[in-house]
Amino acid sequence: MFNSLSERLEGAFKNLKGEAKISDLNIANTVKDIRRALIDADVNYKIAKEFTDKVKDKALGEKVLNAISPGQLMVKIVRDELTELMGGTEANFNSSGNPAVILIAGLQGSGKTTFSGKLANYLKTKKGKAPLLVAADIYRPAAIDQLTVLANQIGVEVYAERDNKDAVAIAQNAINEAKTKNKNVVIIDTAGRLAIDETMMTEVANIKNAVNPTEILFVVDSMTGQDAVNTAKAFNDRLNFSGVVLTKLDGDTRGGAALSIKYTVQKPIKFVSSGEKMETLDVFYPDRMAQRILGMGDIVSLVEKA
Amino acid sequence: QKTKSNFFDKITKAVAGKSTVDEEVLDNLEEALMTADVGVDTTIEIIERIEQRVARDKYVGTGELNRILQEEIEAMLVDSTDNAHKDFSVPKKPYIILVVGVNGVGKTTTIGKLAYNYKKAGNNVILGAADTFRAAAVDQLTIWSERVDVPIVKQAMGSDPASVAFDTVQSAVAKDVDVAIIDTAGRLHNKVHLMEELSKIKRVMKKVIPDAPHEVLLVLDGSTGQNALEQAKQFMQATEVTALAITKLDGTAKGGVVLSITNQLKIPVKFIGVGEKMDDLLIFDKHEFVDTLFSLER
Ligand SMILES: Nc1nc2c(ncn2[C@@H]2O[C@H](COP(=O)(O)OP(=O)(O)OP(=O)(O)O)[C@@H](O)[C@H]2O)c(=O)[nH]1
Ligand SMILES: Nc1nc2c(ncn2[C@@H]2O[C@H](COP(=O)(O)OP(=O)(O)OP(=O)(O)O)[C@@H](O)[C@H]2O)c(=O)[nH]1
Ligand SMILES: [Mg+2]
Ligand SMILES: [Mg+2]
């Protein structure tokens, strides 16, 4: 797909040289190819359409200089647009407060518990904080044990109440515990939930209202397909989250869901998670993500060779 | 419950009073398929099939078109060669199922559900905790074994997963059980050493029963996009996957990438996960799957 995209980007323009301008006529197929590449990268269908329409508007009338081929020009426009879209607002992570309260939420299996451990490790080792991990997942079998194992690996304490079936109360109690134990960051790991599960969405909204978080992070699997838009929107409607965490980026997914989410909720991606070990946490680079989504690495090198 | 207001209704409106499948209908079809994660190539293939069928059969009306569409898409979903899974009966004894997949898709939960169903159908079941890597993975499967009330074979965290798999198969033979279901750690398909570990797990099982495992069940998360195709290809290479289970279809994701997977790799889908409880497992039904693929509302 991506090889053929870069080939077609070049091929579509082979008759356009020198002072010629990009026109409606010579751009139609190229725009379609870019759209298809985006959809194959899991960018939402409608967003891919809107995005390529915008790219088309940008490209139309652009003069193709001798120094730059039409193919290169299109690559540049797509990459610039994508990078701008992925970046935007400055991704500050706020861990100030005493304690700062970080609420973690997302779908089942997206990587919340693993990320909670990683974040605690990061704040402890890189920011000199004293974190407390909170096991507010009262549903998943062995959820408390899982968090406890991770916490032991990184030398951080866990707050859990094995017999309490009230996640809101657990979260509240944890904050009191943090105060008495001089912990200045509280990270609340919650159960995975579907956006259409009313009861569960109400529960996490109640946790939010009870603990007044400093940051609310929406954790999403970077392999997610078209549904990323619905899910992100539903979680944002209920929680108005402050940032996104993209997980499992050590895989080979193009990660188009990142673009869809950014486009839909306009919230910054604050961290990326790329492994099962506690150290595999990274800040987010918009340009890298833009290139990954379009397989631009391949395209750019091909165009540069020409 | 998915609503009745589905794509077929939309198509009906789009073609009302028209005698051919026009651009608008095809655009609607494209949108419906692509937003269900069917992917570009397979969507184009379906549209071409529809165009050919319509040209050949002489398109008559909307009812016809709906039927053709259902038929063509269903034809892409391969049938399983045996139907034993439909009533959780066992083709051989002990029947060994190895469960594989990337991280967090629902392998362990699906095993809990399978154990429940096989047991309910009158089989003796044993579980094998060969995920010795992920934090508290053994504890999680142990809780499932207690819920369903079936025995579990396990070793300490960090021990060799192939050794646990070996023990489980041996124990299945010794205890004369009907079904053994073995959990493995989630692994991304692009990690070569982890995929080799899976091949080794499989080889070791054969030392006890030469044709084991009888089923290699690849679990896919229904909300995964096009990457699921690559997952299926890589797991197929490492373990000769024999069946698929698609989880989390109780959400709003449609799991359309399955069309490309079964069409290209000819692996049948056997189970659907629709929740986190032990009875939230369904036998895959082509017709229903294609129908919900097009349901527009939640
Ligand atoms: N390869 C890889 N695996 C990851 C990453 N993040 C999490 N995982 C794995 O994904 C699986 C699910 O992670 P969890 O942290 O348990 O996910 P969760 O969101 O807490 O799951 P629930 O609590 O069940 O909703 C585990 O096997 C993790 O080890 C990542 O960045 N890369
Ligand atoms: N809504 C829903 N959740 C599911 C389904 N199947 C599994 N889950 C949830 O998804 C999360 C991950 O499930 P697991 O069974 O732990 O997944 P896994 O593949 O064993 O994960 P790893 O071993 O960490 O790779 C858990 O929170 C499960 O409860 C399903 O069909 N629907
Ligand atoms: Mg968790
Ligand atoms: Mg598991």
Gap between the Cα atoms of A251 and A269, Å rounded: 18
Cβ atoms of residues B88 and B222 within 8 Å: no
- Asked if B228 reaches chain A (Cβ–Cβ under 8 Å), the answer is yes
Complex prediction ipTM? 0.94
Kindly report the backbone phi and psi dihedral angles of residue A241, in degrees, each rounded to the nearest multiple of 5, phi listed first.
-65, 160
Note the pLDDT of residue A303: 47
Lowest mean pLDDT among A165-174, B23-32, B200-209, B264-273: B23-32
Cβ-defined contact of A109 to B104 (cutoff 8 Å):
yes
Amino acid letter at B293? Answer: L
* Cα(A160) to centroid(ligand 3), Å: 14
Q: Is the dihedral of CA B127, B132, B133, B135 positive or negative?
A: positive
What's the Cα-to-Cα distance from A121 to each of A181, A268, B29, B70, B123, rounded to whole Å?
18, 22, 48, 51, 46
Average pLDDT over every residue of B97-102: 98
Assess B240–A contact: CB distance below 8 Å, yes or no. no
Conformation bin of residue A162: beta by default, left when phi > 0, alpha when psi is -120 to 50:
alpha
For residues B85 and B280, give the distance between their C-alpha atoms in angstroms, rounded to a whole number.
15
State the smallest CA–CA distance between residue B92 and chain A in angstroms: 31
Q: Which residues surround ligand 3, an ion (CB under 5 A)?
A: A 112-113
Does residue B65's CB lie within 6 angstroms of at least one atom of ligand 2? no
Beta-carbon separation of B40 and A140 below 8 A: no
Three-state secondary-structure class, residue B168: helix
Give the up-direction half-sphere exposure of residue B137: CA atoms within 13 A in the CB hemisphere: 28
Mark out the alpha helices in B159-242 (DSSP H runs): 161-174, 192-206, 227-239
pLDDT at B1: 35
Residue A13 has pLDDT above 80, yes or no: no
Residue A179 is predicted with a pLDDT of 97
List, as ranges, residues with CB under 5 A of the ion ligand 4: B 107-108
Question: Which one of B38, B190, B193, B226 makes the best mutation probe of the A interface by having the most chain A beta carbons within 10 Å?
Answer: B226
Check A253 against B225: CB less than 8 A apart: yes
DSSP code of A41? T
| Contacts with B257 from chain A: Cβ below 8 Å | 225
Distances B224 to A137, B102, B164, B181, B258 between C-alpha atoms, Å: 23, 11, 30, 24, 10
Is-contact A146 A182, C-beta < 8 A? no
Residue B260 to chain A, least CA–CA distance (Å): 12
Instruction: Considering only the beta carbons, identify the residue of A45, A196, A251 that sits closest to B34.
Output: A45
Separation between Cα atoms, residue A114 and residue A137, nearest integer Å: 13
| Cβ-Cβ contacts under 8 Å, B42 against chain A | none
Is the per-residue pLDDT at A47 higher than 80?
yes
Of A80 and A191, more confident: A191
What number of C-beta contacts closer than 8 Å exist between A and B? 139
Q: Least CB-CB distance to A109: which of B39, B105, B144?
A: B105
pLDDT at residue A19, as a whole number: 55
What pLDDT is recorded for position A72?
72
pLDDT of B3 reads: 38
Chain A residues near residue B106 by CB distance under 8 angstroms: 108-109
- pTM, to two decimals: 0.94
Report residue B11's pLDDT band, with 50, 70 and 90 as the boundaries.
Answer: low
Mean pLDDT of A7-30: 65
What strands, in cross-sheet order, belong to the sheet with B215-221? B152-153, B125-130, B179-184, B95-100, B215-221, B243-247, B269-273, B281-283
Give B121→chain A minimum CA distance, Å.
Answer: 24
CA distance A172 to chain B (A): 25
A159-205 tens-digit pLDDT:
999 999 999 999 999 999 999 999 999 999 999 999 999 999 999 99
Instruction: Give how far Cα A285 sits from Cα of A232, A289, B61, B141, B236, Å.
Output: 20, 6, 52, 37, 33
Looking at beta carbons, which residues of chain A come within 8 Å of B104?
108-111, 221, 248
- Pairwise CB contact (< 8 Å): B144 & A141: yes
Provide the 3-class DSSP secondary structure of residue A101: strand
A306 confidence band (pLDDT: 50, 70, 90): very low
Residue A242: both structure tokens together: 């402050």
For A228, which residue in chain B has the nearest alpha carbon? B223
Is there a contact between B37 and A40 if contact means CB atoms under 8 Å apart? no
CA angle (A21 as vertex; A19, A25 as ends), nearest 5: 140
- From the list A158, A81, A85, the residue with the least C-alpha distance to A116 is A158
B-facing residues of A in 217-256 (CB < 8 A) are: 221, 223-228, 230-231, 248, 250-254, 256
Give A7 to chain B, closest Cα distance, Å. Answer: 18
What per-residue confidence (pLDDT) applies to A64?
72
Which residues, including other chains, have CB under 8 Å from residue A104's CB and lie 6 or more apart? A112, A115, A116, A119, A187, A188, A189, A190, A217, A219
B131-159 pLDDT per residue, tens: 999 999 999 999 999 999 999 999 999 99
Taking an 8 Å cut-off on Cβ atoms, the answer to whether A225 and B37 are in contact is: yes
d(CA A5, CA B155): 50
